[in-house]
Amino acid sequence: MINEGSKFPGKDHSDKGKWIGPWMPQWRDPGDKGPFTTLRQLYGDIQDASEALKAKRDALKKTGEFTPAGITGKLKQVVRAETIPTIRTAAAEQVRRFRKEVDSRRAAMKPFDHDPKDIVSEMRRQEVRAWLRTLKPDERTKAVRSASDPLIKEAALSVPVELTGLLPSTRDGLTRELIEARYGDEIAALNELDAAVSTVERAVDGARDDVRESLGMTPHDFNAEFRDVEDEIDRLAEIRASKPQPVDFDSVMSTVKALNIDEQEQLMEAIKLEQRREDTRAFYSEMARISGKSAAEMDRIAGKFGGKKSA
């Protein structure tokens, strides 16, 4: 399966003509691993699963040993045991993981850093908002959009829209403008990743339709017969997703960099506090082991000295 004019695997339409999209040449990682590499492999594997089923169907027909009903019966066994697990597992685990990453990185983007401890700046923003409310609606919108001082835009975005007199659409547009100016390169890269994820999501839907078509089943009958397999795969994926996962340091650093200075300091303080608590728990646990005291006794001692009770 080759995209027309592309060196990458996969087809851009399902058998029924549903748009999937080609794998674009710019969707690649600097090295030999990364999100694009993983997604490209999924893109090909998902479609290969449906193609393998069609090849199996053609091979059964050539033998001349089976009736149409017999061929369908054989194919259903393959679909249940191999094809659906391949397609659905990719959708339930890998693709969903990348979708969450895209959404979380976008949610972490802020139009500006707001320091609640900077009282002087906050007073200036209040003065700006009071001035904005004295203007006519058109003048107010023009003043905010054309402001050369970022404080004016910050004043309009740091409180609920009702306190500024701006239209919600104006506020939303201004927010997008500031975020794009601040995270331009990251947004461009994230948009490419989003497009790749969306393409693989469509590949999942297209492959599922191709499988159903190979069996000659209506959507209703296909769902009724194989929904239990898909539900079980989704259930197991949820269980695995709830377990601690290896730390993705690139994702963590991306999230931390999106925080402002105060938020970074608060995060570091929270980490230090948790480390102190962990040290305290370890200390009293060891004391309990050495002294032979019960957990309840050590909890009472820890409480006297401000230690956290043992778990």
Q: Annotate the chain with DSSP letters as a single string.
A: -B-TT-SSBS-SB-TT--B--PPPTT---SSS-SHHHHHHHHHHHHHHHHHHHHHHHHHHHHHT-S-HHHHHHHHHHHIIIIIHHHHHHIIIIIIHHHHHHHHHHHHT--SS---TT-HHHHHHHHHHHHHHHTS-HHHHHHHHHT-SSHHHHHHHHSS-GGGTT--HHHHHHHHHHHHHHHSHHHHHHHHHHHHHHHHHHHHHHHHHHHHHHHHT--HHHHHHHHHHHHHHHHHHHHHHHHS-----HHHHHHHHHTS-HHHHHHHHHHHHHHHHHHHHHHHHHHHHHHH---HHHHHHHHHHTTPPPP-
In a domain, 93, yes or no: yes
In a domain, 21, yes or no: no
* Of 219, 236, 257, the domain-final residue: 257
Q: What pLDDT is stored for residue 9 in this prediction?
A: 63
Are 101 and 190 in the same domain? Answer: yes
With a pLDDT cut of 70, the percent of the chain lying above it is 79
In a domain, 25, yes or no: no
Are 97 and 189 in the same domain? Answer: yes
Are 103 and 188 in the same domain? Answer: yes
In a domain, 17, yes or no: no
* Of 182, 211, 227, the domain-final residue: 182
Residues of 14-30 as b/e, b for ≥16 C-beta within 10 angstroms?
bbeeeebbbbbeebeee
Are 45 and 103 in the same domain? Answer: yes
Residue 94: burial class (beta carbons within 10 Å; 0-12, 13-18, 19+): buried
Are 189 and 252 in the same domain? Answer: yes
Are 197 and 253 in the same domain? Answer: yes
Asked if the model's pLDDT at residue 113 lies above 90, the reply is: no
In a domain, 299, yes or no: yes
Q: What pLDDT is stored for residue 279 in this prediction?
A: 66
Are 138 and 284 in the same domain? Answer: no
Residue 78's identity, in one-letter code, is: V
Q: What pLDDT is stored for residue 152 in this prediction?
A: 83
Q: What pLDDT is stored for residue 306 in this prediction?
A: 46
CA–CA separation, 47 vs 1, rounded Å?
8
Q: How many domains does the chain have?
A: 3
Q: Decide which of 1 and 60 is more confident.
A: 60
Q: What pLDDT is stored for residue 224 in this prediction?
A: 94
In a domain, 231, yes or no: yes
Q: Which domain holds residue 230?
A: 35-109+184-257
Q: What pLDDT is stored for residue 127 in this prediction?
A: 87
- Is pTM, for the whole model, over 0.85? no
* Of 157, 182, 207, the domain-final residue: 182
In a domain, 13, yes or no: no
In a domain, 250, yes or no: yes
The tokens describing 233, both together, are 């795969």
Are 188 and 105 in the same domain? Answer: yes
Are 65 and 130 in the same domain? Answer: no
- Segment 261-270 mean pLDDT: 73
CA distances from 216 to 94, 123, 209, 210, 225 (A): 29, 69, 10, 10, 13
Q: What pLDDT is stored for residue 2 in this prediction?
A: 43
The tokens describing 180, both together, are 């794009």
Task: Name the least confident of 49-58, 260-269, 281-290, 300-309.
Answer: 300-309
Are 266 and 246 in the same domain? Answer: no
Are 139 and 244 in the same domain? Answer: no
